């Protein structure tokens, strides 16, 4: 027993050390260099700054006529709208797939799984968006983000629905509830654990998305927060101190969101794992 306890302690210590090396050392590196002047930051080392430059963050925020602020607003709008549509559509789809067992359910489930396996095609998507006049629009990029995240969200909702008794549906119907009223008033409030998981995971992915806004939402006025990293890099010169300061500002919202909702993420991911 003592030997097993010693091995467990050793493994825990190794895990802590690895987490520090893999996650916290790079994070500390970015923070330290974001507080240096341009010359010291160009050395890209872990030395403490000779003078802490808090003005780097102010310079990042006002660069190119407050482009970082505008891009943060764009990213926030895209994230909020995409999450709202994704939750409603995915929850309703997961509910139907779990409650119904006809031949169409199998076809729909196959299409949902295909969405996880088939990679998105950039050029055809641009052609489709342009043909329906949604290219370079907020609506277009929201639809793209929803389409890319709906498969994973539907699987989570469908699995969680297995933990909700059918008797709730039947009781609501007996009391005279219509389908939509029954779902949104009786069933949807019970989906809060998995909804929290979808909100956190999807919002972090959408907020940090670099490729899709670059392809489907181009233009200086449409810049998202991840694209602002280009502001401080060029072919001949890179302001590493400002680049690292921008990275810190970009990382704060998802980090705070994850810290407050990490327990709900695990609960939503594991709920329904046995019955689903």
| pTM for this entry | 0.83
* 201 token code pair: 């995971």
Q: 112 and 220 in contact (C-beta within 8 Å)?
A: no
User: Which pLDDT does position 264 carry in this prediction?
Assistant: 63
Residue 99 CA to residue 161 CA, distance in Å, equals 8
User: Which pLDDT does position 197 carry in this prediction?
Assistant: 86
Q: 155 and 122 in contact (C-beta within 8 Å)?
A: no
Residue 91 CA to residue 106 CA, distance in Å, equals 17
Angle between helices 122-131 and 138-161 (to 10 degrees): 110
- Spell out the SS3 assignment of 105-122: HHHHHHHHHHHHHCCCCH
* 148 token code pair: 């890319």
DSSP letters along 212-259, please?
A: HHHHHS-SGGG--GGGGGGGGB-SS-B-HHHHHHHHHHHHHHHHHHHH
Domains of the chain, with CATH numbers? 67-270 (1.10.3720.10)
User: Which pLDDT does position 78 carry in this prediction?
Assistant: 95
Instruction: Using CA atoms of 189, 192, 194, 198 in order, give the dihedral in degrees to the nearest 10.
Output: 110
Q: 31 and 247 in contact (C-beta within 8 Å)?
A: no
Nearest to 220 by CA among 76, 65, 60: 65
Give the pLDDT of the chain (276 residues) as one tens digit per residue: 556 667 788 888 888 888 888 888 888 999 999 999 988 998 888 888 888 899 999 999 998 888 899 999 999 999 999 999 999 999 999 998 888 877 777 788 888 888 888 888 888 999 999 999 999 999 999 999 999 999 999 999 998 888 888 888 888 888 888 888 888 888 898 888 889 888 888 998 999 899 999 999 988 888 899 888 887 887 667 889 999 999 999 988 888 877 776 666 665 555 554 444
User: Which pLDDT does position 274 carry in this prediction?
Assistant: 46
Residue 167 CA to residue 165 CA, distance in Å, equals 5
Residue 104 CA to residue 202 CA, distance in Å, equals 27
């Amino acid at each position: 027993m003592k030997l097993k306890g010693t091995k467990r302690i050793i493994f825990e210590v190794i895990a802590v050390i690895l987490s520090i090396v893999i996650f916290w050392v790079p994070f500390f590196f970015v923070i330290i260099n974001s507080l240096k002047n341009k010359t010291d930051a160009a050395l890209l080392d872990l030395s403490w700054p000779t003078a802490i430059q808090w003005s780097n963050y102010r310079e990042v925020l006002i660069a190119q006529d407050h482009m970082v602020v505008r891009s943060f607003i764009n990213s926030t709008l895209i994230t909020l709208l995409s999450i709202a549509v994704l939750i409603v559509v995915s929850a309703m789809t997961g509910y139907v797939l779990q409650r119904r067992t006809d031949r169409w359910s199998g076809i729909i489930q196959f299409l949902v799984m295909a969405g996880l396996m088939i990679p998105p095609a950039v050029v055809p998507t641009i052609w489709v968006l342009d043909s329906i006049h949604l290219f370079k629009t907020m609506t277009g990029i929201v639809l793209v983000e929803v389409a890319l995240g709906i498969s994973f969200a539907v699987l989570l909702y469908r699995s969680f629905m297995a933990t909700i008794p059918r008797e709730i549906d039947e009781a609501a119907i007996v009391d005279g509830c219509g389908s939509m009223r029954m779902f949104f008033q009786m069933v949807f409030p019970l989906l809060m654990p998995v909804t929290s998981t979808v909100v956190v995971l999807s919002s972090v992915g959408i907020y940090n998305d670099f490729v899709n806004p670059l392809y489907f939402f181009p233009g200086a006025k449409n810049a998202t927060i991840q694209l602002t990293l280009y502001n401080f890099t060029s072919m001949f010169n890179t302001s590493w101190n400002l680049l690292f300061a921008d990275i810190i500002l970009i990382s704060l919202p998802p980090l705070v969101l994850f810290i407050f909702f990490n327990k709900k993420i695990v609960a939503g991911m594991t709920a329904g794992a046995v019955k689903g």
